[in-house]
Amino acid sequence: MTFFRTVVSLLRRNVNECTHGAVSNMTTATPNTLTVLETPKPHLQEETPPPAKVIAVQGTCGYNAFRRFLFKAAYPQATRELVDNPRILIERDMNPAGRIYVEADGKETLFETEEGIHIVRVRYVVGIIYNSISGNTDLRWRDNKPRGKVWGHITRRSLGLLLSYNAQVKTTSTSTNS
């Protein structure tokens, strides 16, 4: 019991010595209880992340490779049946950030997901426009036999994803997106 009283008296002395109230933890004590009171911390501003590095790219990429890139980048929860079917693609109606547009001879919307992604059946794809929701990736794909042509601006993460699907691209410049 004497140990407890010693601790309480030390804590009271420390509380009384704090004159400005800038203590993050204040302790009040009575002979039977010891309670820690949290004082509100000043509002911390969220730090904005540094701007993403955007890389200008140009190269070739097959239709199926670009399709798989789209599914992985924009709709990763797609079922394997959708991803494996070469006649199925995704579209998203957002302007301009987040937009995915498929230019095809024949296009039929099968259904729309909760995320606003349209699953479409296509016949002959002429081109695809992909803009990420963040606005950092802006890619175009055009059919060019035997492989398609891809160009635009892309983040490092998306570039790694695109390269994992055997796209052959050259980086032409690096800039900072602001």
Please state the three-class secondary structure of the chain as a single string: CHHHHHHHHHHHHHHHHCCCCCCCEEEEECCCCEEEEECCCCCCCCCCCCCCEEEEEEEEECHHHHHHHHHHHHCCCCCHHHHHCCCEEEEECCCCCCCEEEEECCEEEEEECCCCEEEEEECCEEEEEEECCCCCCEEEEECCCCCEEEEEEEEHHHHHHHHCCCCEEEEEEEEECC
Say if residue 34 is in the same domain as residue 93: no
Using one digit for the tens of pLDDT, what is the confidence trace for 145-171? 888 999 999 999 999 999 998 888 888
Report the distance separating Cα 171 and Cα 124, nearest Å: 29
Say if residue 80 is in the same domain as residue 143: yes
Tell me which residue range forms the domain holding 7.
2-38
Whole-number pLDDT of residue 5? 62
Report the distance separating Cα 39 and Cα 36, nearest Å: 10
Say if residue 165 is in the same domain as residue 88: yes
Say if residue 148 is in the same domain as residue 81: yes
Can you give the pTM of this predicted structure? Answer: 0.67
Say if residue 60 is in the same domain as residue 24: no
pLDDT, averaged in runs of 10, over the chain (178 residues):
57 51 46 46 50 85 94 93 95 87 94 92 95 93 90 93 89 60
Say if residue 60 is in the same domain as residue 116: yes
Q: How many residues make up the chain in this entry?
A: 178
- Provide the token pair at 117: 């992604």
- Provide the token pair at 140: 């175009």
Asked if residue 43 is part of any domain, the answer here is no
Number of domains in the chain: 2
- Provide the token pair at 51: 């701007």
Say if residue 81 is in the same domain as residue 127: yes
Say if residue 120 is in the same domain as residue 59: yes
Whole-number pLDDT of residue 32? 47
Whole-number pLDDT of residue 23? 43
Asked if residue 124 is part of any domain, the answer here is yes
Asked if residue 46 is part of any domain, the answer here is no
Say if residue 85 is in the same domain as residue 12: no
Asked if residue 69 is part of any domain, the answer here is yes
Whole-number pLDDT of residue 105? 92
Strand order in the sheet with 148-155: 107-112, 117-122, 88-92, 100-104, 125-131, 138-142, 148-155, 53-61, 168-176
Single-letter code of the amino acid located at 74: A
Say if residue 158 is in the same domain as residue 83: yes
Say if residue 20 is in the same domain as residue 61: no
Sign of the CA dihedral running 82, 87, 91, 96: positive
Asked if residue 44 is part of any domain, the answer here is no
Asked if residue 155 is part of any domain, the answer here is yes
Whole-number pLDDT of residue 34? 43
CA 91 vs. chain centroid, Å, equals: 18
How many CB atoms within 10 Å of residue 152?
19
Asked if residue 47 is part of any domain, the answer here is no
Say if residue 146 is in the same domain as residue 75: yes
Asked if residue 177 is part of any domain, the answer here is no
Whole-number pLDDT of residue 57? 93
